[in-house]
Structure 1
Amino acid sequence: MGNPRFTAACRERGWHTQLDVVTAYEHHATLLGEPATITVRQVRRWQSSAPGWPHTLSRRVLHAMFGLPLPELGFTPPHTARQPPLPGRPGTTATEEDPVRRRSFLQGVLGAAPLLSPLGRDHLTAALANARRYSDQALVAHLRNALDAAARTDGRTGPRHTLPTALGLLGVIDELARDASSPVRRELLALGARAAEFTAFLHRDAGAPPQTTAYFHDRAAEWATFAGDTPMHAYVLLRKAQATDRDDATRMLDLAHAAAHGPWTLPPRARAEALQQEARALALTGAAPDTVARTLDEAHAALDGAPPAEPPTCTGPLCAAYSLDRLMAQAAISHREAGQPARAVDILQRHLGHGTFAPRDRAFFTAHLAGALAAAGEPEQAAATGLSALSLAARPGFGQALGELRRTASQLRPYARRPAVRELRQALTGLTVPPA
């Protein structure tokens, strides 16, 4: 029989072979700043009927990978007596089910959720001991504040520093939602959908395999459905479209169109972003420029009908901070994909010049400006702009911006002997951040 819990958890996340698990383990170890590697032989042992109890470092990495207590993955803590399995929970013993599982969970999660206030941590500890009694709106508010703080941290330091915290918070929400009373459970699931979508975004920006990002997107959509939050379900479709590779433009178009036109009502700013993503997908599928332009006009109309913008948060109204400058910058990407690089250059230069962008967004759009300049036949200016984007993206490891810069460097290969181009290519080659 082996260890069906571990095997099932791997397959849920898209890791279907032992080598997939090795790759995912090493990726998460890198995110945690640990130079850890494992072999296929170790994975085979974890999949066996006697997986043992992983050592401290492996426990930390496995928790980051799965966001679950290790006993829920089929591992047995030392000195735990084996008892008959509990009804309906194959492989789970009475000894494991409550005190050991929760103690393991607390050790893994509270250390990964430092953004909770002391009061919030005390409240969480009590709730994990008795979720039905202590899970309430005040605890949801603590978790909401911690998730917003994690998002702010990501904006400053990048995804690799934030992922352990995000996974910890996601694990807390998952654990509490199992036993919370109905009204609070619905709030926890709605918050969990936001946390899962944020975790998917971090994984994508950190260069995780696509199936890892897809797993957390699917978790977000599932929890949004359970919570009755149909706008959030649509928003996850938008984020899936944004995470879709440009070589799979038909799927990107299907996702963006469903987000914008499905059986739900997105807030105006979120609808504007979904429509601009649809415009980009149309450009990638070879639609006529007029068709792309009409869809962008719909995006502008949606934004024009939106209430005043609010400060960006991870848990507030969807796309509450989405602005005209951001819409224009994204529209420029659509024009670039439609074979109009000069128009993209003009729009990006104007809006990057006066718009207010978060560091990640500025790095990302500046990288696209470099690519548009390269496509417009301006290799020196493209390389200089690329170096500017690299200075914003390298240290925090903003993977989407770095991916665009690598694409630009590939475009500039015919000009590789020019000093500025050579400098950009060498700088990208020398990066210690894993590629996105």
Structure 2
Amino acid sequence: MEDNDILKRRMAEAGYTQAELAEAVNADLRACGHEGTVSDRTVRNWLTGKTRWPHRRQRAALEAVFQCPVTELGFVPWREAPPSASEEVTLQRRRFLFASAGTALGASADRARHRVGMSDVDRLLAKFSVLIVSDHRYGGRLTIESQAAALAGEALALQARGTAGQRVRCALYACAASFTSSALWAAIDGRRFGVAQRHFERAASLAAMSGELTIQFRIWSHAGSLYRHMARPIDALAANDVARNLHIARRDPMFASLGHARHAAILGLTGDARAVRQTLGHAQEALEASDPAEQRPMWMNAFYDRAELHSLALAACLALGDYEAAEAHGHSSLALVRPEMQRSRAITTARLAQAQLGQGELESAVATAMSVPADVAAEHPRITGMMQEFGAALGLLDASGPHAQVWGQYVHDRQRNPQ
């Protein structure tokens, strides 16, 4: 019995613990109507080689999570009874995710193909709207990433087993691209950058087939954010420029504003204060020129507004070391952020604490940091990292001083009683 070193390596690249991989696989199983029965022990059996060939449903879920054939995860097939008809349909839907972009899994010649229409697209979008709400509340959880990937598979399954006109086919590709883009963002938010890169590559391919400029903008804009969080500003600027140069950004000032705002956040990493100020000015002007009544995708309406612009400006100024301006943007963002945007509020609050700390306002900084909800700080990888960075910076400034002691006691109490 040999260890499955390939699966171990792929888990490390994706940032999965045994418990997190079990959660991701179970989320995909549940999204397909099955029970989520995978546990830590199940994953341990995969890693130790005790289970060399998982159950077919688990194999399909693993393929959805890692976006590759299960044989590329170190599993070795053995002879087993053929799947039932219903399981075969599910397996075909999953495998389509890993086929080449131009290949469709057709139904067998003797199977009737049903007509796919815009009502099917609307049904998918209704599920997507629920996922968007969950994303804004909880952020980069594996369950959100897996659910988004499963929705993309559902959209592609309709392409594979049904007949549709060109308009519907483009809409289905756009749905699949949009859902994969949400999986990309969840992976970015969860600091699973290797997985995020694979989601980006898949989403970009699907978006190109859709011909839909709004989703192409979203994906390339997300790519810019991915590289920004990876501290690769040159790649981030190049990716975000792809988004900013699309026709939709020239036609709709709202898209132009988002493109400029994210560009400013990236420019902050380069230390170019003049470019940051200019780009934030362009973002503000474009947002003021936009028509709020214009029809836009739900993902745009769900998050981008003046509060988000100030939040990105806060990130830009924080990177520059302009802590006074950063604090001003932080207060403006918190005054405007919508109640349901819990993740955004927590991220902005954490950044505000860093801006106050940068100005030597230790008491205010600690109070601000402690106002981040404990459950959010504990469960959201990005915010957890920001809180750790805050504590380290406070320790350098205050060492064993009273503010560091207050913060240390707070962290200790929170770890003992996270609720």
TM-score (norm 2): 0.76
Question: SS state of the match for residue 171, structure 1?
Answer: helix
Residues 181-330 of structure 1 aligned to structure 2 (within 5 Å): 181-183=164-166, 184-208=168-192, 210-244=193-227, 245=229, 247-262=231-246, 265=249, 267-287=252-272, 289-308=273-292, 315-316=297-298, 318-319=300-301, 321-330=303-312
CA 1:261 to 1:326, structure 2 compared with 1: closer, same or farther past 3 Å?
same
* Partner of residue 155, structure 2: 173
* Displacement after TM superposition at 1:221 (Å): 1.3
CA distance in 1, matches of 2:381, 2:147: 19
CA 1:387 to 1:277, structure 2 compared with 1: closer, same or farther past 3 Å?
same
CA distance in 2, matches of 1:68, 1:101: 18
CA 1:390 to 1:177, structure 2 compared with 1: closer, same or farther past 3 Å?
same
Question: SS state of the match for residue 148, structure 2?
Answer: helix
* Partner of residue 104, structure 2: none
* Residue 28 of structure 1 pairs with residue 21 of structure 2: yes
* Displacement after TM superposition at 1:68 (Å): 8.0
* Partner of residue 89, structure 2: 102
CA distance in 1, matches of 2:355, 2:59: 45
CA distance in 1, matches of 2:417, 2:385: 12
* Residue 62 of structure 1 pairs with residue 62 of structure 2: yes
CA distance in 1, matches of 2:114, 2:72: 23
CA distance in 1, matches of 2:131, 2:21: 18
Residues 6-17 of structure 1 aligned to structure 2 (within 5 Å): 17=6
CA distance in 2, matches of 1:380, 1:300: 32
Question: SS state of the match for residue 333, structure 2?
Answer: helix
* Partner of residue 420, structure 1: 406
Gaps of 5+ in 2: 27-37, 96-106
CA distance in 2, matches of 1:349, 1:135: 48
Instruction: Give the percent of matched residue pairs that are identical in Structure 1 and Structure 2.
Output: 21
Gaps of 5+ in 1: 1-6, 8-15, 81-94, 109-125
* Residue 155 of structure 1 pairs with residue 136 of structure 2: yes
CA distance in 1, matches of 2:357, 2:266: 21
* Residue 356 of structure 1 pairs with residue 334 of structure 2: no
TM-score (norm 1): 0.73
* Residue 146 of structure 1 pairs with residue 156 of structure 2: no
CA distance in 2, matches of 1:154, 1:232: 18
* Partner of residue 357, structure 2: 374
* Displacement after TM superposition at 1:45 (Å): 9.2
Residue 388 of structure 2 is aligned with which of 406, 410, 419? Answer: 406
* Displacement after TM superposition at 1:281 (Å): 1.7
* Displacement after TM superposition at 1:394 (Å): 3.3
Contact 2:60 2:94 in 1 (8 A): no
The alignment covers a number of residue pairs equal to 375
CA distance in 1, matches of 2:417, 2:181: 28
Contact 2:138 2:380 in 1 (8 A): no
* Displacement after TM superposition at 1:275 (Å): 0.7
CA distance in 2, matches of 1:412, 1:256: 33
Contact 2:353 2:364 in 1 (8 A): yes
Q: Could you tell me which amino acid in structure 1 is paired with residue 118 of structure 2? A: Q
CA distance in 2, matches of 1:409, 1:431: 19
Contact 2:224 2:237 in 1 (8 A): yes
Q: Could you tell me which amino acid in structure 1 is paired with residue 22 of structure 2? A: A
Contact 2:113 2:161 in 1 (8 A): yes
* Displacement after TM superposition at 1:347 (Å): 2.4
CA distance in 1, matches of 2:93, 2:160: 15
Contact 1:69 1:102 in 2 (8 A): no
**Greater displacement, 364-373 / 258-267:** 258-267
* Displacement after TM superposition at 1:36 (Å): 4.4
CA distance in 1, matches of 2:191, 2:112: 35
Question: SS state of the match for residue 308, structure 1?
Answer: coil
Deviation readout 1:188-217 (Å, 9 max, x if unpaired): 101111100011112222332x12011112
**Greater displacement, 363-372 / 156-165:** 156-165
**Greater displacement, 173-182 / 32-41:** 32-41
Contact 1:197 1:236 in 2 (8 A): yes
Residues 19-98 of structure 1 aligned to structure 2 (within 5 Å): 19-23=8-12, 24=14, 26=18, 27-31=20-24, 32=26, 34-36=39-41, 38=43, 42=47, 52=53, 54-55=54-55, 58-59=58-59, 62-66=62-66, 78-80=80-82
* Partner of residue 12, structure 1: none
**Greater displacement, 186-195 / 166-175:** 166-175
CA distance in 2, matches of 1:22, 1:262: 35
Contact 1:221 1:232 in 2 (8 A): no
Deviation readout 1:241-289 (Å, 9 max, x if unpaired): 11222522222222223322356536322221211121122221121x2
Contact 2:315 2:351 in 1 (8 A): yes
CA 1:148 to 1:41, structure 2 compared with 1: closer, same or farther past 3 Å?
closer
Q: Could you tell me which amino acid in structure 2 is paired with residue 147 of structure 1? A: F
CA 1:310 to 1:364, structure 2 compared with 1: closer, same or farther past 3 Å?
farther
CA distance in 2, matches of 1:238, 1:146: 23
